Amino acid sequence: MMPREFDAEEESVVEGERERMRALNSHFVLIDLHSSWHSATHIPTSTFDYLKKSTALPNSLSQAFHRTRPRRRSEISSSASSVPSIRRPLDRLAPGNGLSSVSVLTTSRSGDASELDLFLELVPLRMRDELFGHQEIGELIEVVMDLGRQPLARFPSGDWVISEQPVKPEDLRHAISKVGEFSDDNRSGIDSSLHRISAIRNRKMQIIGLTCRVGRAMSGSAEVIRDLVEGGGSILVIGPPGVGKTTLIREMARMLADEHKKRVVIVDTSNEIGGDGDVPHSGIGRARRMQVPNVHMQHNVMIEAVENHMPETIIIDEIGTELEALAASTIAQRGVQLVGTAHGMTIENIMNNPSLQILVGGIESVTLGDEEARKRKVQKTILERKGPPTFTCAVEMISRTVYHVHHRLDMTVDAILAGKSPRFEVRCMDSEADSSLKAIDSVSTHEKNHLKESQLDNGEDRRSQIESDEEDGDYSPKSSDKLSRNITCSEGRPLVYVYTFKILEADLLQVVSVMGLENEIDVTDDIGTSDAILVSSSEMKQNPWIRTVSRFHQVPVFVMKSNTMAKMVKAVRMILEMDAFGSTSKRGPRSTFGIEIDDDAPKRNPSLEEIDALEVACVTVSVLPLYNDDWLIYARFHFSGEVRLAIEYIVIPGGEPVELLPRRSDIIARQLELVESYQLAAENSGTEQSPRLQILPQKLIKKTSPGKYPKSTPSLSKEISLKSLTGGVGGGTVSRLPLLPE
């Protein structure tokens, strides 16, 4: 029977069936491509199981049954040419089985299925029949045939014995006859396919075992790290054998070449990325492929690719030797984006591999001077990174669907060398998600080990989907998305966790401590569980991925133009929603993925004296030595630039009180305003005729009814109502007053 193309009406019916299939969540759809094909139906898995057991279904039908996703229109029509007629076996099944509708159906064969057919041809017939009976045939990973042993099939669910009959020499001969020549790395392939056949030889160099791997082009498999690919940085993919590294970088090559129109050259040592044969597989898109005549020449071909073919990106699978690592480093230095893979579970494995160390910048042992070692609180001999890593970022593939993303490989390496746990982001991909959807989630760094174990064991992902990626779309952070926390602040509210980028956590904590907000805000090194990200604007410019990550985790980003304490205080207030943001912006409603921490704008132009009092700097600092190595710093500000400087250089970082110069009461009021904007308390340390402020390293406690300022300790009777002093401005009190030295 001659196959034919769909006409417009048929196309629309096929589309309709796909819709129904989605709506019914049915597992299989059969569409007759030959004649009365419009009698398509959806059959449940149980019926299919019955069909499978009851009859020897033709291979292509069996494979088609296993496809759970609707096919693209082009796949359906182009594969029609290889449709076998299955009318007869189904006719035979129909009576009495409640399968009457099946008798008029046939199926199509997909691109995947025809490639799997090519693979299955190398499996001896007796094993092939058994294999077809396996319900995961569509997800077959490898067939292993060792002489004299039972043949095995590897599926995502585990190994499966294909037949009790051991592998015979003729079985191996059959398989070898279907593949091309084996190269010096004992690998071969099947023309026009991505399959990889690896041989084990005896001492006489005869082949006594085969590992036959099914290769697939998985469109959408790189979706979960699209931001890294688009970012243009070099990406190192690390993972154990068989986890899916080649499949991932093949898709990255296609993405870069087709979607980003980059000049991509693949150095394809075993023809695994672009498939066997001189015409590369369509899975690499428009990327060009350079074959490697012998595995020891991989590094030469890498350099040749840069020198001869003007690539913007080079893709290289399995960087395994020192020469290859050196070549990769040379390429990166020439400004070419590099996407490469290396075997290993984690970045530590690469660091511990002397041949590959250069990929992470190299490691050297450094001996510090006594003082330096004491200052750093480390041993005298430490390990340090020698230079910049070859790759900008790294992806540890934990499984096909769980990736650990290290956005800054240099920082990860430095953290590991310093004995700290590196920061990384966990991304999970819904393996069944449509390629147009990202389905990723993140979990805590601290859960790393647990996650590795549990997800490797049972393959379960926690999933969430991003539906909108609008640059400026506003949103409310969804606290429900966060991991549940046990810690709550004193008022029963959950502690707010802040993740900082290029902002010293110690500074933030110091500000928080002086503001007395330790019970309300804390820092975290896990972006996935954070409630806010605090970042310097320079860092934000250099690392646009921060925005992507924040959008993904739905965490607002607070951007500080400068790392001053004032900005930090403002940021803390905004994070805790003590100060408003977004709607008050001059530019109208803004995205919460980049909230700028603005300065407090002056309400009116200040006078010269006010400028002095509020902004100008000149300080005399008295340093009083105390016993046991402590110092007490007592500052008097002759020009009162006082307020900001005093707060930012002494009160907050040092936790010390500062006394300002006597000022007119209206200026004191402005000073007090500024002090309060830092959430700090102040008191009058002068007289009524000559008032002067003393800024206290204590949290301002606002009263609900202004005008009443309860006295604290009677002996510290200097505390006064600043409101009365300044004509209405102010309104704070302190819980404790400091004793200053005479």
Ligand X SMILES: Nc1ncnc2c1ncn2[C@@H]1O[C@H](COP(=O)(O)OP(=O)(O)OP(=O)(O)O)[C@@H](O)[C@H]1O
Edge-to-edge strands of the sheet including 288-291?
288-291, 264-268, 313-316, 337-343, 235-239, 393-397, 402-406, 425-428
Tell me if residue 477 falls in helix, strand or coil.
Answer: coil
Instruction: Name the residue nearer to ligand X (CB basis): 238 or 514.
Output: 238
Q: How far is the CB of 271 from ligand X (least distance, A)?
A: 12
Out of 215, 231, 274, 691, point to the residue binding ligand X (CB under 6 A).
215
Q: Does 281 bind ligand X (CB under 6 A)?
A: no
- Angstrom distances, CA of residue 655 to CA of 290, 516, 636, 648: 64, 12, 15, 10
User: 59-66 and 125-132 helices cross at what angle (nearest 10)?
Assistant: 40
The Cβ-side half-sphere exposure at 596, using a 13 Å CA radius, reads: 15
- Angstrom distances, CA of residue 558 to CA of 414, 439, 450, 547, 583: 26, 26, 31, 11, 15
Q: How far is the CB of 215 from ligand X (least distance, A)?
A: 6
Q: How far is the CB of 193 from ligand X (least distance, A)?
A: 11
Q: Which of 216-224, 283-291, 433-441, 463-471 is the region at the interface with ligand X (rule: CB under 6 A)?
A: 216-224
Partners of 426 in beta bridges: 404
Q: Does 66 bind ligand X (CB under 6 A)?
A: no
* DSSP code string of 348-362: HHHHT-TTTGGGGT-
Within 172-191, the residues that bind ligand X by CB under 6 A are none
Q: Which of 61-69, 243-251, 481-489, 540-548 is the region at the interface with ligand X (rule: CB under 6 A)?
A: 243-251
Tokens, residue 497: 């966790």
Q: Does 134 bind ligand X (CB under 6 A)?
A: no
Q: Does 616 bind ligand X (CB under 6 A)?
A: no
Q: Does 214 bind ligand X (CB under 6 A)?
A: yes
Tokens, residue 285: 């898109």
Tokens, residue 158: 């585990």
Spell out, one character per residue from 327 to 366, where the chain touches ligand X: x when CB under 6 A holds, - when not. ----------------x-----------------------
Tell me if residue 154 falls in helix, strand or coil.
Answer: strand
Distance (Å, rounded) from C-alpha 358 to C-alpha 355? 7
Q: Which of 235-243, 381-389, 525-533, 583-591 is the region at the interface with ligand X (rule: CB under 6 A)?
A: 235-243
Instruction: Name the residue nearer to ligand X (CB basis): 136 or 304.
Output: 136
Q: How far is the CB of 44 from ligand X (least distance, A)?
A: 24
Q: How far is the CB of 466 from ligand X (least distance, A)?
A: 19
Within 374-403, the residues that bind ligand X by CB under 6 A are 400
Instruction: Name the residue nearer to ligand X (CB basis): 242 or 544.
Output: 242
Tokens, residue 458: 């049972």
Q: How far is the CB of 352 from ligand X (least distance, A)?
A: 18
Instruction: Name the residue nearer to ligand X (CB basis): 244 or 731.
Output: 244
Q: Does 77 bind ligand X (CB under 6 A)?
A: no
Out of 79, 110, 188, 221, point to the residue binding ligand X (CB under 6 A).
221
Distance (Å, rounded) from C-alpha 85 to C-alpha 83? 7
Nearest to residue 180, comparing CAs of 197, 163, 164, 159?
197
Place of tokens 């905004």: 574
Instruction: Name the residue nearer to ligand X (CB basis): 223 or 612.
Output: 223
Q: How far is the CB of 437 from ligand X (least distance, A)?
A: 15
Instruction: Name the residue nearer to ligand X (CB basis): 134 or 216.
Output: 216
Instruction: Name the residue nearer to ligand X (CB basis): 44 or 242.
Output: 242
Out of 138, 189, 244, 528, point to the residue binding ligand X (CB under 6 A).
244
Instruction: Name the residue nearer to ligand X (CB basis): 317 or 656.
Output: 317
Q: How far is the CB of 431 from ligand X (least distance, A)?
A: 7
Instruction: Name the residue nearer to ligand X (CB basis): 167 or 429.
Output: 429
Instruction: Name the residue nearer to ligand X (CB basis): 213 or 547.
Output: 213
Q: Does 571 bind ligand X (CB under 6 A)?
A: no
Instruction: Name the residue nearer to ligand X (CB basis): 20 or 178.
Output: 178
* DSSP code string of 503-550: S-HHHHHHHHHHTT-TTTEEE-S-GGG-SEEEEEHHHHHH-THHHHHH
Out of 52, 213, 553, 692, point to the residue binding ligand X (CB under 6 A).
213
Q: What are phi and psi of 158, to 5 degrees?
A: 135, -175
Cβ atoms within 10 Å of 420's Cβ, excluding its own: 11
- Angstrom distances, CA of residue 265 to CA of 195, 223, 308, 433, 681: 20, 20, 11, 29, 64
- Angstrom distances, CA of residue 293 to CA of 168, 185, 250: 32, 11, 20
Q: DSSP secondary-structure letter at 390?
A: S
Instruction: Name the residue nearer to ligand X (CB basis): 115 or 610.
Output: 115
Q: Does 218 bind ligand X (CB under 6 A)?
A: yes
H or E element: which one contains 278?
none
Partners of 291 in beta bridges: 268
Q: Report whether 268 contacts 187 (CB < 8 A).
A: no
Rg (CA), the chain: 34
Q: Does 706 bind ligand X (CB under 6 A)?
A: no
Instruction: Name the residue nearer to ligand X (CB basis): 99 or 402.
Output: 402
Q: Which of 122-130, 239-247, 294-302, 563-571 is the region at the interface with ligand X (rule: CB under 6 A)?
A: 239-247
Q: Report whether 294 contacts 279 (CB < 8 A).
A: no
Q: How far is the CB of 154 from ligand X (least distance, A)?
A: 8
Instruction: Name the residue nearer to ligand X (CB basis): 27 or 343.
Output: 343
User: 665-677 and 565-575 helices cross at what angle (nearest 10)?
Assistant: 60
Within 509-568, the residues that bind ligand X by CB under 6 A are none
Cβ atoms within 10 Å of 321's Cβ, excluding its own: 15
Q: Report whether 513 contacts 480 (CB < 8 A).
A: no
Distance (Å, rounded) from C-alpha 67 to C-alpha 506? 54
Q: Which of 35-43, 118-126, 213-221, 578-586 is the region at the interface with ligand X (rule: CB under 6 A)?
A: 213-221
Q: Does 193 bind ligand X (CB under 6 A)?
A: no
Distance (Å, rounded) from C-alpha 641 to C-alpha 347? 50
Distance (Å, rounded) from C-alpha 704 to C-alpha 709? 11
Out of 33, 225, 243, 413, point to the residue binding ligand X (CB under 6 A).
243
Out of 80, 93, 141, 345, point to the residue binding ligand X (CB under 6 A).
141
Residues in CB range of 615: below 8 A, 6 or more apart: 641, 644
Q: How far is the CB of 235 from ligand X (least distance, A)?
A: 15
Q: Does 246 bind ligand X (CB under 6 A)?
A: yes
Distance (Å, rounded) from C-alpha 565 to C-alpha 572? 10
Size of the site for ligand X (CB under 6 A): 17
Instruction: Name the residue nearer to ligand X (CB basis): 30 or 243.
Output: 243
Instruction: Name the residue nearer to ligand X (CB basis): 215 or 280.
Output: 215
Distance (Å, rounded) from C-alpha 423 to C-alpha 408? 9
Out of 70, 239, 285, 730, point to the residue binding ligand X (CB under 6 A).
239
Distance (Å, rounded) from C-alpha 453 to C-alpha 134? 27
Q: Which of 115-123, 143-151, 241-249, 631-639 is the region at the interface with ligand X (rule: CB under 6 A)?
A: 241-249
Instruction: Name the residue nearer to ligand X (CB basis): 241 or 588.
Output: 241
Out of 211, 247, 399, 464, point to the residue binding ligand X (CB under 6 A).
247
Q: What are phi and psi of 11, to 5 degrees?
A: -55, -45
Out of 242, 293, 387, 589, point to the residue binding ligand X (CB under 6 A).
242
Q: Does 254 bind ligand X (CB under 6 A)?
A: no
Q: How far is the CB of 220 from ligand X (least distance, A)?
A: 8
Q: Cα 54 vs. chain centroid, distance in angstroms? A: 47
The footprint of ligand X (CB under 6 A) covers 141, 213-216, 218, 221, 239, 241-247, 343, 400
